[in-house]
Amino acid sequence: QVQLVESGGGLVQAGGSLRLSCSASGLTFGSYAMGWFRQAPGKEREFVAAITWGSSNTYYSDSVKGRFTISRDNRKNTVYLQMNMVKPEDTAVYYCAGALASSQLVKGVSSYWGQGTQVTVSS
């Protein structure tokens, strides 16, 4: 059974930083592209970032480019999202996702989803 478990969410002030982690089990982690999505209240879930299986390529939405960094450690079956210079509009539930291709993640398609972790940015 595949499990993606996010952690690291919480309350942070605007301009601050937060690092999210996603621990994966039940899948061959190194074979999957991994990504992060978010869903704010009253809005649809949106793509945030993705990373290929070997970390050779990363992709970001325009809204987070230059502020967020996605990375992974295949030895630990974990993917990270470093969030810097956060803004109140970054407030959302953040979801970890896994797919066989990063192109799927960028299009919003994923084979597996985590339960989500809440990030709240205060102004």
Q: What is the DSSP letter of 30?
A: G
pLDDT at 38: 98
CA–CA gap between residue 34 and residue 100 (Å, rounded): 9
For residue range 40-85, what is the model confidence (pLDDT) as tens digits? 999 999 999 999 999 999 999 999 999 999 999 999 999 999 999 9
Q: Percent helix, strand, coil in the chain (nearest 5)?
A: 10, 50, 40
pLDDT at 76: 97
